[in-house]
Amino acid sequence: MNIDFTYQNPTRIHFGKSAMQYLPEELALYGKNVLLLYGRNSIKASGLYDAVMSDLQKAGKKVVELAGIKSNPTYAQVLQGAQLVREHQVDLILAVGGGSVIDCAKGISASAYCKQDPWTLYWEQQAPLANPVVPIGTILTMTGTASEMNGGSVITNDDKKLKLGRVFPLETMAPKFSILNPEFTYTVPKYQMISGIFDIFSHLMEQYFGGNDDCVSDYLLEGDMLALISAARAALKDPHDYEARSNIMWCATMGLNKILAVSKEQDWEVHMIEHQLGAYTDCAHGIGLAIISVPYYRAIYKYGLHRFVRYAKNIWHVNPEGKSDEQVALEGIDCLSKFIQELGIPQTLREVGATEEMLPLIAESTIKGGGYHVVTTEEVLEILKACF
Amino acid sequence: MNIDFTYQNPTRIHFGKSAMQYLPEELALYGKNVLLLYGRNSIKASGLYDAVMSDLQKAGKKVVELAGIKSNPTYAQVLQGAQLVREHQVDLILAVGGGSVIDCAKGISASAYCKQDPWTLYWEQQAPLANPVVPIGTILTMTGTASEMNGGSVITNDDKKLKLGRVFPLETMAPKFSILNPEFTYTVPKYQMISGIFDIFSHLMEQYFGGNDDCVSDYLLEGDMLALISAARAALKDPHDYEARSNIMWCATMGLNKILAVSKEQDWEVHMIEHQLGAYTDCAHGIGLAIISVPYYRAIYKYGLHRFVRYAKNIWHVNPEGKSDEQVALEGIDCLSKFIQELGIPQTLREVGATEEMLPLIAESTIKGGGYHVVTTEEVLEILKACF
């Protein structure tokens, strides 16, 4: 634990089949004006919308709705929500949905009382969040981003063709409460479930692939990866396996509530590349991450060889006997590739709507960073070509 | 994750060599009357006392001190502190020390404004904490109990010969802030360091040995155990190895801040037996746990065989080839025994001051519980005899 840190996470999690029973006592903690945020009509089809509205009405809330939040929530929607907050003096933003809806809620919360253009202030410049924010509660229906227990908000600016993630401080912006009933994720289509699974796996790898020390967080990240692999395999067999779906849900929350990232050097470059893939195509986030991961790690493993050897042995149980470290590390990445195939994820960018013309544009606009190695535009382009 | 749960942990952790720099901003959040709680004079010898007092004075605090908190903090000290809180209208209890000092702070916080006898209310009856409490901040100098980030308070009643643990709700009683500088643990004598290490390891095993499901928490507990084993070995070689000591410190906090225990069936019987050993002897807590663990797990492993097989394979890398599950499980417990020897911990109760006459008294007074199996007085006595 060589890197000093401060950690506090205020989110109260209610987890399980009975989690919704806590909604009334949470609602009672806030004023009467609620902005209800959700995506498509699936929460109406599932009956969740009615259940939430019933609790809101019993609590005497005045509800204003903003529906249709996109799977890559847009800055235009953030501004629309911010205006509703000001007009209706909203006391609580209740986000019902997946990471997109919650990310949008954070954007709205940060922007509503911001006196400058929030886009340039928060998403481009990462300025401190100085203005008042609106408390957020969430009811999660799709798992992956851990937005239910962190301060992250990824927003797409259609005008600027930019998808940028802002990590607001946990203390200020993490939801006050989050209701996690794994059964609510049953209605997510299988392709989206798989996308979510790989998003989680990628978060864990991206926090893991950095540092040369023997850090507790690495052992815990390994534990979460192993739990996720086991649960993913069970959920693939039976998407209504409660144990599997509940494990996936908690792997996700633990995977990015930042408690497993303390004192960690990290490498978020796969996310950086995928965000720009997302700006140019409609590719599901986790699917894009999976396609990019294999060529990315093949390109950079040699800079952090010891860590990729550890990953191969501890996550994929690669037997190192009679093999060089290079061979062990590459065999680990092969196992990752096989796992992606096992999940039924496409192997090429072509299959998710990218064209050859897009590749240099994506490579150029990607924010360059890395863990063991900082990539160049040329290297990103090579990585994209390798999975095109 | 088959068991529903609610989790929130309000403690703000400042971790690392620079952690003390946050004390002034934390102190600024509370009123002017501070009760400073500590144990022996070691914090004066190390200079920590002067540093803390300097920050308190700069912050304009009026300080009342209660020193000499025992390693098994007593109910008499709790009442003494509670009276100081009332007399001086204390706004913050600042606990500087290890788990004992922090446990005592929680006892004082709960008792100060309790209108009935707090002992019978909290430690015997586990009644809800209805009265106001006093906020607690901590500066940790010895690691093990995770009292710096949980609601636990173990108090010894000398009159009643009872050492009872109360788990207060995290939201109410977990410290508001905790300062964790691994260097502060350097002054702890090696024997106490080792006792702390095994206390942590026992917490992890006791949360792990329960349940028949495939729970995320189990994978994370395994990660924390593996991290601790590695760090313990490094710290044994060089107690001033910062990486090792910082890893041990964080293994401890994560090991019992309850985030790795969500949705878990558990087995705290080793702690129950040790608490009564502690009521009859001056045995260091972690040392007592180590002595009791081996015969305890040998007595109960067959009731949760699958879990002990998993433990042997995942924690101690026991090769199962050509062996029965029974053999694998027992080999795992043998590895635990060897690890205890490696730590240099005594193997018998005799060596820590127990007499043969005490054994039936300890067995009789132990609270009986368990995970895979609930023990009887006779079984506890057999366990004690096996390590006498």
Q: What is the DSSP letter of B303?
A: G
Provide the residue type at A251 as one letter. Answer: C
Q: Shortest CA distance to A94 belongs to which of A133, A66, A132, A130?
A: A66
Tell me whether A250 touches chain B (CB under 8 Å): yes
Chain B contact for A19, CB < 8 A? yes
Question: Which pair of tokens denotes residue B8?
Answer: 């929130």
Task: Judge: A213–B242 Cβ closer than 8 Å, yes or no.
Answer: no
Cα separation, A199 vs A288, whole angstroms: 9
* Beta carbons of B297 and B206 less than 8 angstroms apart: no
A310: chain B residues, CB-CB within 8 Å: none
Tell me the C-alpha distance between B241 and B227, whole Å: 15
Label the pairing between strands B5-15 and A5-15. antiparallel
Residues B140 and B247 in one domain: no
Residues of B in contact with A247 (CB under 8 A): 1, 214-216
In a domain, A248, yes or no: yes
Examine residue A6 and state whether it is found in any structural domain, yes or no: no
Separation between Cα atoms, residue B222 and residue B252, nearest integer Å: 13
Is the Cα dihedral A287, A167, A19, A37 positive or negative?
A: negative
**Chain A residues near residue B10 by CB distance under 8 angstroms:** 8, 10
ipTM for this model: 0.96
Nearest CB among B8, B213, B220 relative to A220 is that of: B220
Residues of B in contact with A262 (CB under 8 A): 15, 250
Question: Which of residues 326 through 355 in chain B touch A, CB cutoff 8 A?
Answer: none
Q: Which of chain A's residues have a Cβ under 8 Å away from the Cβ of B12? A: 6-8, 171
Does position B328 have pLDDT exceeding 90, yes or no? Answer: yes
CA distances from A107 to A41, A74, A167, A243, B326 (A): 22, 10, 11, 33, 56
The radius of gyration computed from the CA coordinates of chain A, to the nearest angstrom, equals 21
Q: Is A230 on the interface with B (CB under 8 A)?
A: yes
User: A16 and B7: CB-CB below 8 Å?
Assistant: no
Give the type of residue at A210.
G
CB neighbour list of residue B120: distance below 8 Å, 6 or more residues apart: none
In a domain, A285, yes or no: yes
pLDDT of residue A196: 94
Q: What are the C-alpha distances in Å from B17 to residues A48, A215, B139, B246? A: 48, 16, 13, 10
CB pairs under 8 A between A and B: 141
Structure confidence by residue, pLDDT tens digits, B145-183: 999 999 999 999 989 888 888 999 999 999 999 999 999
In angstroms, rounded to a whole number, what is the distance separating the alpha carbons of residues B84 and B89?
A: 8
* Yes or no, beta carbons of A16 and B1 under 8 Å apart: yes
B216-237 helix and B242-256 helix, angle to the nearest 10 degrees: 150
For residue B3, being part of any structural domain is answered with no
Give the chain A residue whose CA is nearest to the CA of B149: A8
Residues A136 and A242 in one domain: no
CA distance A190 to B201: 40
The secondary structure element, H or E, covering residue A352 is none
B368 DSSP 8-state letter: P
In this structure, the answer to whether residues A259 and A316 fall within a common structural domain is: yes
CB contact B3 to A (< 8 Å): yes
A1, A176, A204, A263: best to mutate for the B interface, most B CBs within 10 A: A1
Question: Do residues A341 and A369 share a domain?
Answer: yes
Closest CA to B272 of B385, B196, B383, B173: B383
- Output the six-digit token pair for B223: 């990660």
Instruction: Give the one of B5, B15, B220 whose C-beta lies nearest to A1's C-beta.
Output: B15
What pLDDT is recorded for position A111?
97
- Smallest Cβ–Cβ distance between B8 and the set A11, A243, A251 belongs to A11
Q: Terminal CA-to-CA distance of chain B, rounded, Å?
A: 39
pLDDT in tens, B274-324: 989 988 998 988 999 999 999 999 999 999 999 999 999 999 999 999 999
Whether residue A319 sits in one domain with residue A178: no
Sign (positive/negative) of CA torsion B367, B372, B378, B381? Answer: negative
Judge: A4–B12 Cβ closer than 8 Å, yes or no: no
> Quick one: pLDDT at residue B259?
97
CA distances from A319 to A325, B222, B230 (A): 11, 21, 21
Where in the sequence is the domain holding A124, given as residue range(s)?
Answer: 12-184
Q: Which residues, given as ranges, of chain A have pLDDT below 50? A: none
Give CA–CA dist A217/B367, Å, rounded: 35
User: Could you tell me the CATH number of the domain that includes residue A345?
Assistant: 1.20.1090.10
Give me A256's structure tokens: 């990015």
Q: Which of B157, B184, B211 is the last residue of a domain?
A: B184
Question: From the list B213, B219, B251, which residue is nearest A216 (CB)?
Answer: B251
**Tokens 């006595």, residue located:** B381
A5-15 and A152-157 strand pairing: unpaired
Quick check: A310 contacting B, CB < 8 Å?
A: no
pLDDT on residue B321: 96
Say if the Cβ atoms of B1 and A219 lie within 8 Å: no
Distance, in Å, from the CA atom of B168 to the CA atom of B163, rounded to the nearest integer, reads 16
* CB of B226 less than 8 A from some CB of A: yes
Q: To which H or E segment does residue A246 belong?
A: helix A242-256
Q: Tokens standing for B61?
A: 């605090």
Give the number of other CB atoms < 10 A from CB of residue B344. Answer: 10
Q: Which of B1, B16, B243 sits opposite A247 (nearest CB)?
A: B1
| Alpha-carbon gap, residue B36 to B49, rounded angstroms | 10
DSSP state of B107: H
Any domain includes A172: yes
Rounded distance between C-alpha atoms, residue A230 and residue A244, angstroms: 8
Q: What average pLDDT does the segment B207-229 reach?
A: 97
What beta strand segments (E) does chain B contain? 5-15, 33-38, 62-66, 92-97, 136-140, 152-157, 162-167, 177-180
Do A91 and A55 fall into the same domain?
A: yes
Residues of B in contact with A26 (CB under 8 A): none
Q: Give the pLDDT confidence score for residue B315 in this predicted structure.
A: 98
Query: B180 and B205: one domain?
Result: no
CA dihedral B52, B53, B55, B59 (to 10 degrees): 140
CA atoms within 13 A of residue A217's CA, in its CB half-sphere? 29
Measured distance CA(B75)–CA(B158) in Å, rounded: 8
CA distance A90 to A66: 12
Please indicate, yes or no, whether residues A238 and A301 belong to a single structural domain of this protein.
yes
Q: Which of A137, A153, A184 is the last residue of a domain?
A: A184
Interface subset of B 264-283, CB within 8 angstroms of A: none
What is the gyration radius of the CA atoms in chain B, in angstroms?
21
Q: Does A250 contact B14 at a Cβ distance shorter than 8 Å?
A: no
Q: Quick check: A193 and A239 in contact, CB under 8 A? A: yes
Q: Are A231 and A107 in a shared domain?
A: no
Report d(CA A140, CA A107) in Å as an integer.
Answer: 17
B214 close contact with A: CB closer than 8 A: yes
**Of B203, B228, B15, B182, residue with least CA distance to A216:** B228
Residue type present at position A17: K
| Closest CA in chain B for residue A246 | B1
Q: Which residue has the tokens 């010969």?
A: B161
Distance, CA of A105 to CA of A177 (rounded, Å): 13
Point out which residues pair with B178 in neighbouring strands.
B13, B138
- b/e A47-72 (16+ beta carbons within 10 angstroms → b): ebbeebeebbeebebebbebbebebb
B321 in A contact zone (CB under 8 Å): no
Question: If we measure between CA atoms, which residue out of B124, B182, B176 comes closest to residue B155?
Answer: B124
Domain count, chain A: 2
Cβ-nearest to A18 among B4, B224, B231: B4
In a domain, B61, yes or no: yes
Judge if B257 and B136 occupy the same domain: no
Average pLDDT value for chain B = 96
Cβ atoms < 10 Å from Cβ of B368: 14
- Do residues B197 and B311 share a domain? yes
Question: What part of B 114-173 touches A (C-beta under 8 Å)?
Answer: 171
Q: What is the CATH number of the domain that holds A174?
A: 3.40.50.1970
Residue A256 lies inside a defined structural domain of this protein? yes
The pLDDT value given to residue B275: 87
Query: Could you tell me if A180 and A200 lie in one domain?
Result: no
SS3 assignment, position B164 = strand
Supply B301's token pair: 């492993």
Distances (CA, A) of B357 to A153, B274, B363, B367, B376: 64, 16, 11, 19, 19
Geometric angle at alpha carbon A352, from A349 and A353, rounded to 5°? 95
Question: How many whole angstroms separate alpha carbon B205 and alpha carbon A147?
Answer: 31
B226–A219 C-beta distance less than 8 A: yes
Q: What distance in Å separates residue A1's CA from the closest CA in chain B?
A: 6
Q: B126-155 pLDDT, tens per residue? A: 899 999 999 999 999 999 999 999 999 999
Q: Are strands A62-66 and B177-180 parallel, antiparallel or unpaired?
A: unpaired
Q: Is residue A287 part of a domain?
A: yes
Contact indicator for B64, B36 with CB cutoff of 8 Å: yes
Do residue B1 and residue A182 have CB atoms under 8 angstroms apart?
A: yes
CB-based contact A19 B4, cutoff 8 Å = yes
Contact (CB<8Å) B242/A16: no
Please say which residue of A184, A208, A224 terminates a domain. A184
CA dihedral A377, A382, A386, A388 (to 10 degrees): 50
